[in-house]
C-alpha cells in the first residue's frame, strides 16, 4: 500500500453539497483515475452540533448523479473502515492518550467565559485572537484539582512558540508559517468528540492517504497537522490546496450572492455533465485549452500541476452558456429524460413520445436551463390569453377569413400532417391572397399565443387536430 496513490473526499454532513466541495471531490476523483489510484469517501461527522439529518443521503445521491464513484466508503467495500468518523472515536482516544503522554497535548479547563474575556482583551489591544496558553503549564496538582471538581475540559495541541515551519504544497509550492501565528488547536472537545484536526490526521494516516487535495481555506491548518504527524512519527501525505471559488466581486463564493448547493443547480435545470465540466475548469487549465470535456476525457487530461494559484470567479453567465451548448448537442432522448422531471412538476403530460421529444427539441434550441422548458411549453397546455394588441391582429378581416378557411379545410381533410399544413399555407396565399405578415403571425398567434415561435407544422403536430380546430374557432370573433 505504501506506493499506492490514495486520495479522499471528506465532507461534513452539515447541509447540501457546495459547488466548491463538488470541485474538491472531482479533483480527487480525477487524480485517482488518472494515476490508477483509489478514491475514498469519508464522512467527517464528529461535530454533532452541526449535523443535519439527510445530509449524508443527499451527499451520496449527488455524487452518484455526478458519476463520481468512490472505491471505498460508506456502503462500499474497504479495508480501512468504518468510514464515518463518529464510529471511530475509540481509535482517536488511543492517539490522544499518546499525545498527552508525550507532552504534545494538554488538558485545558478554560470556560467559555474565560475564552470570551481573553478574546475581548486581545481585540482591545489590536491583537489576533487565539488561545493564550493559560493551561499549557498547569501542575499535576492543579490538573487533579480540576478533575476532582469534575470541571469540563478540552484537549489542546501544544504548538511550539518559537521559530517557523516550512512545507511544500503542490499548488502553493514553498509555504512558511511562523509558529506564533499558529493556535494551540483543540483536538478533543468537551463532549469527547475529536475535532477535524485530530481525526483527519489520524484517519489519513490509517487509511494510507498519499495526497490531501482540499480547499485553500485549510492551508493555515497544515502546520498543526504536520506537527501531529511529527509527534506520532508518521510520514505526512503530499499537500495540495485548491484556489478559492469567488463571486464576481472577488469575494468568497457564498449563499449570500446566489446558489451554491449542487442540488440548487440541478433543480434549476443544469445538467450534471455541465456542472462537472464547468467546475473542472474553475482552478484548472487544460493543456489544449478546450472548453468541453466528458468525464472520461477529464480523467485523461487532468493534472495537479495545472491547478491555478489564484482564485476562480464562478461566472453564472458562462455556466448558462455552457449548459445551453450541452442542451443543444446532447442526444435528444437524454435531454428528454432530464426534462421529464420539469414537465411532471408542472403537471404537463404528453402521452405521445414523438410529440414530447419534438417539443423538447424545439425548446432546447431556445433555452439555457431546463427549468425554462415548461414556460416555453406552456402555450401547448394552457388556455391562451390575448392582449388588446393581439386581438387587433386576430380580428382583422383577413385573419378572420384565414381562420375560417383553415377550420373548414382541416375538418374536411382525412388527416392533419406536415404535408397538409404546407399545402394549406400555399392555398391560403393562392386562393385568399393572404401572404407574409398577414399569414404566419395570425396563425401562430391563434395557435401558440405569440407571433413568433415554432414552425406551424410542428405546432399543429404537437397540438393535434382537435385542439388546432378549437383554437382557430376561439380566435374567431
Query: Are both 220 and 104 inside the same structural domain?
Result: yes
Among the candidates 267, 302, 330, a domain finishes at: 330
pLDDT of residue 256: 58
Burial class (CB in 10 A: 0-12, 13-18, 19+), 353: exposed
Last residue of a domain, one of 201, 227, 242: 242
Greatest Cα pair distance in the chain: 110
Look-up of cell digits 431546463? 370
Specify if 348 maps to a domain: yes
Amino acid 406: pLDDT: 96
d(CA 475, CA 477): 6
CATH number at residue 307: 3.40.50.620
One domain, residues 325 and 335: no
Point out the catalytic residue in the list 255, 300, 354, 437: 255
Whether pTM exceeds 0.85: yes
**Within its chain, how far is the Cα of 315 from the centroid?**
14
pLDDT profile of the chain (477 residues), mean per 10 = 85 90 97 96 87 89 94 88 92 95 96 93 89 93 95 96 95 95 94 92 97 95 97 97 91 73 93 96 87 94 93 94 97 95 89 88 93 90 91 94 96 92 94 92 94 89 92 91
pLDDT in tens, 103-126: 999 999 999 999 999 999 989 998
Could you tell me the CA-to-CA distances from 432 to 14, 220, 424, 427 in Å, in that order? 68, 79, 11, 7
pLDDT at 1: 47
Is 83 a domain residue? no
Which string of DSSP letters, residue by residue, matches 105-160?
EEEE---HHHHHHHHHHHHHTTPPP----TTTT--HHHHHHHHHTT---EEEE---
Residue 2 pLDDT: 56
- The verdict on residue 252 lying in a domain is yes
Note whether 345 and 407 are same-domain residues. no
Report CA 308 to chain centroid distance, whole Å: 20
Question: How far apart (Å, rounded) are the C-alpha atoms in residues 234 and 238?
Answer: 13
**206 plus 122 within the same structural domain:** yes
Catalytic residue list contains 426: no
Residue 435 inside a domain? The answer is yes
- Can you give the pLDDT at residue 257? 57
Contact 232, 95 (CB under 8 A): yes
Determine the pLDDT at residue 97.
96
Residue 291 lies in a domain: yes
Helix axes 353-364, 332-346, angle to 10 degrees: 100
Q: Does some domain include residue 98?
A: yes
Q: How many domains does the chain have?
A: 4
Q: Choose one of 296, 330, 364: the last residue of a domain.
A: 330
Q: Are 65 and 183 part of one and the same domain?
A: no
pLDDT given for residue 43 in this prediction: 94
Same domain, 154 and 222: yes
| Cis preceding linkage at 82, omega within 30 | yes
CA distances from 163 to 175, 180, 225, 371 (A): 14, 8, 17, 57
**Residue 51 grid coordinates:** 449535523
- Whether residues 103 and 234 share a domain: the answer is yes
Shared domain for 144 and 164, answered yes or no, is: yes
The CATH number of whichever domain residue 351 belongs to comes to 1.10.8.70
Q: Same domain, yes or no, for 233 and 184?
A: yes
Is 378 part of any domain?
no
70 and 102 housed in the same domain: no
Whether residues 163 and 307 fall in one domain: no
Same domain? For 135 and 236 the reply is yes
Domain coverage including residue 344: 331-373
Beta strands at 211-215 and 154-157: parallel, antiparallel or unpaired: unpaired
Residue 26 lies in a domain: yes
Amino acid at each position: 500500500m505504501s506506493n499506492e496513490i490514495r486520495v479522499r473526499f471528506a465532507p461534513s454532513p452539515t447541509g447540501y453539497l457546495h459547488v466548491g466541495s463538488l470541485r474538491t471531490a472531482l479533483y480527487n476523483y480525477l487524480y485517482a483515475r488518472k494515476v490508477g489510484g483509489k478514491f475514498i469517501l469519508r464522512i467527517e461527522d464528529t461535530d454533532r452540533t452541526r449535523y443535519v439529518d439527510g445530509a449524508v443521503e443527499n451527499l451520496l445521491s449527488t455524487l452518484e448523479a455526478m458519476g463520481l464513484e468512490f472505491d471505498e466508503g460508506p456502503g462500499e467495500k474497504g479495508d480501512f473502515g468504518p468510514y464515518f468518523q463518529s464510529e471511530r472515536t475509540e481509535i482517536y482516544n488511543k492517539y490522544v492518550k499518546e499525545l498527552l503522554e508525550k507532552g504534545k497535548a494538554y488538558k485545558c479547563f478554560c470556560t467559555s467565559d474565560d475564552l470570551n474575556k481573553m478574546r475581548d482583551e486581545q481585540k482591545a489591544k489590536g491583537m489576533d485572537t487565539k488561545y493564550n496558553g493559560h493551561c499549557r503549564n498547569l501542575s499535576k496538582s492543579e490538573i487533579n484539582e480540576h478533575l476532582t471538581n469534575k470541571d469540563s475540559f478540552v484537549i489542546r495541541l501544544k504548538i511550539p512558540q518559537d521559530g517557523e515551519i516550512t512545507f511544500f504544497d503542490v499548488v502553493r509550492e514553498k509555504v512558511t508559517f511562523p509558529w506564533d501565528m499558529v493556535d494551540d488547536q483543540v483536538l478533543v472537545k468537551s463532549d469527547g468528540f475529536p475535532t477535524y484536526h485530530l481525526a483527519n490526521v489520524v484517519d489519513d494516516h490509517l487509511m494510507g492517504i498519499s495526497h490531501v487535495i482540499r480547499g485553500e481555506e485549510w492551508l493555515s491548518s497544515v502546520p498543526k497537522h504536520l506537527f501531529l504527524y511529527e509527534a506520532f512519527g508518521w510520514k505526512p501525505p503530499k499537500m495540495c490546496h485548491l484556489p478559492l471559488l469567488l463571486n464576481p466581486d472577488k469575494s468568497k463564493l457564498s449563499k449570500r450572492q446566489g446558489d451554491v448547493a449542487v442540488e440548487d443547480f440541478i433543480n434549476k435545470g443544469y445538467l450534471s455533465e455541465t456542472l462537472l465540466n464547468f467546475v473542472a475548469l474553475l482552478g484548472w487549465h487544460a493543456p489544449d485549452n478546450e472548453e468541453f470535456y466528458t468525464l472520461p476525457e477529464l480523467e485523461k487530461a487532468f493534472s495537479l500541476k495545472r491547478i491555478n494559484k489564484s482564485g476562480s470567479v464562478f461566472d453564472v453567465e458562462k455556466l448558462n452558456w455552457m449548459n445551453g451548448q450541452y442542451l443543444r448537442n446532447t442526444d435528444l432522448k437524454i435531454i428528454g429524460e432530464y426534462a421529464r422531471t420539469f414537465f411532471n412538476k408542472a403537471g404537463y403530460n404528453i402521452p405521445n413520445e414523438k410529440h414530447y421529444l419534438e417539443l423538447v427539441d424545439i425548446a432546447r434550441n431556445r433555452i439555457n436551463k431546463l427549468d425554462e422548458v415548461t414556460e416555453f411549453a406552456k402555450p401547448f397546455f394552457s388556455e391562451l390569453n390575448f392582449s388588446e394588441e393581439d386581438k387587433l391582429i386576430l380580428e382583422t378581416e383577413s385573419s378572420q377569413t384565414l381562420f375560417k378557411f383553415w377550420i373548414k379545410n382541416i375538418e374536411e381533410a382525412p388527416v392533419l400532417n406536415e404535408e397538409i399544413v404546407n399545402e394549406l399555407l400555399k392555398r391560403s396565399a393562392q386562393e385568399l391572397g393572404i401572404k407574409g405578415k398577414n399569414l404566419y403571425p395570425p396563425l401562430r398567434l391563434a395557435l401558440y399565443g405569440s407571433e413568433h415561435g415554432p414552425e406551424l407544422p410542428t405546432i399543429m403536430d404537437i397540438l393535434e387536430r382537435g385542439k388546432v380546430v378549437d383554437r382557430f374557432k376561439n380566435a374567431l370573433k
